[in-house]
Amino acid sequence: LWTLEYPAEGKLDYGNSPRTTPLILEDRVFLLGAFGDLHCVNIITGEVLWKKNLRKEYNAKAEMPWGYCGSPLLVDGNLIVNPGAESASLVALNPADGKQIWKTPGAANGYGSFIAGRFGGKLQIVGHDTNSLGGWDPKTGKRLWRLEPPEKNDFNVPTPIAVDGKLLVATENNGTRLYRFRDNGLIDPTPLAQNRRLNPDTSTPVVVGDRVFCVNKLLWCLDWKSGLKEVWKTRDPSLSSHGAIIASKARLLVIGDGEILLLDTTTSKPEVLSRVEVFKEKVRPYSHPALVGTRLYIRGENRLKCLELGD
């Protein structure tokens, strides 16, 4: 239907293709490339309505060997992006024309996406910069709180997860933690629960009911209501390096190195119901798959595949 092409000025580990997930708003889609190229495009025609380069416009100087990885976020009608500049760590833009609404100073980027949620009774933007976890006021950009974990040098790739007013955070040096919030919206720096053994470097956990599922060489299942206690874990050849998870109440799709596993989310032991090979070649789909209705779209390197999952 249409194609958007532009030069990628540089060379990154794992190639120069975009890392982020497109954000759709009515008839527009917002696309952020690995070098900071942000485009607003008409989703029907492919016409570029506006564009800007976040790295150049905000003079972000930090080295990013993996590029921009945080997906654009829509909060209260504003488009939130993460240039990672000293003067503009987070920025709110008008989605209609790309004009700046506010910017807030801070540190360079992490590699995860930001989320929006109500914590401690306050709507907040929550996510990682290069060395800390934080919450920001979506109306003004003011930083509300800052939390540095005891172990330094996390890459901060997994995205935080809102769980019943609490915050689930997982990183490779500090494990998986569950935080609660005070009534004034500030985070309690002492974790409500912690599991140091589940320490993913790239995969974001998924919460289904009381259970937390995540890939870190093994497929893990924890119970967050029981102090992040381990329910089960299982080893599989397709999950040696990375895995993306899509879940429903009863089923779990785990996409690993060229294979998809289907599991039951409710069992006391891991139960693989079926598996299918996605790519015959050893192609690793680092991008998170997209589920549209009953169709699963998977991108790996220079390949795109659509699978019909059925009912």
- What digits encode the pLDDT tens for the residues 222-244? 999 999 999 999 999 888 777 89
- Which token pair is 237? 């050849």
Under 8 Å between Cβ of 54 and 40:
no
- Which token pair is 35? 């070098």
**Is residue 18 domain-resident?**
no
**Is residue 268 domain-resident?**
yes
**Is residue 213 domain-resident?**
yes
Q: Which string of DSSP letters, residue by residue, matches 68-103?
A: --PPPEEETTEEEE----SS-SEEEE-TTT--EEEE
**Is residue 151 domain-resident?**
no
- Which token pair is 197? 């053994």
pLDDT confidence of residue 257: 81
Whether the predicted model's global pTM rises above the 0.85 cut: yes
Residue 194 sits at φ, ψ, to 5 deg, of -150, 140
**Is residue 87 domain-resident?**
no
Share of the chain above pLDDT 70, in %: 100
**Is residue 249 domain-resident?**
yes
CA distance linking residue 67 with residue 14, whole number of Å: 10
Q: How far is CA 59 from CA 55, 64, 94, 297, in A?
A: 6, 13, 20, 35
Residue 212's domain comprises 208-222+233-311
Geometric angle at alpha carbon 166, from 291 and 119, rounded to 5°: 100
CA dihedral 200, 160, 143, 58 (to 10 degrees): 70
- Total domain count, the chain: 1
**Is residue 308 domain-resident?**
yes
**Is residue 33 domain-resident?**
no
Strand partners, 126: 115, 135
- Which token pair is 33? 């490339």
From first to last of its 311 residues, what are the pLDDT tens digits of the chain? 999 999 987 888 888 889 999 999 999 999 999 999 999 999 999 999 999 999 999 999 888 889 999 999 999 999 999 999 999 999 999 999 999 999 999 999 999 999 999 999 999 999 999 999 999 999 999 999 999 999 999 999 999 999 999 999 999 999 999 999 999 999 999 999 999 999 999 999 999 999 999 999 999 999 999 999 999 999 998 887 778 999 998 999 998 887 899 999 999 999 999 999 888 777 777 788 999 999 999 987 778 889 998 87
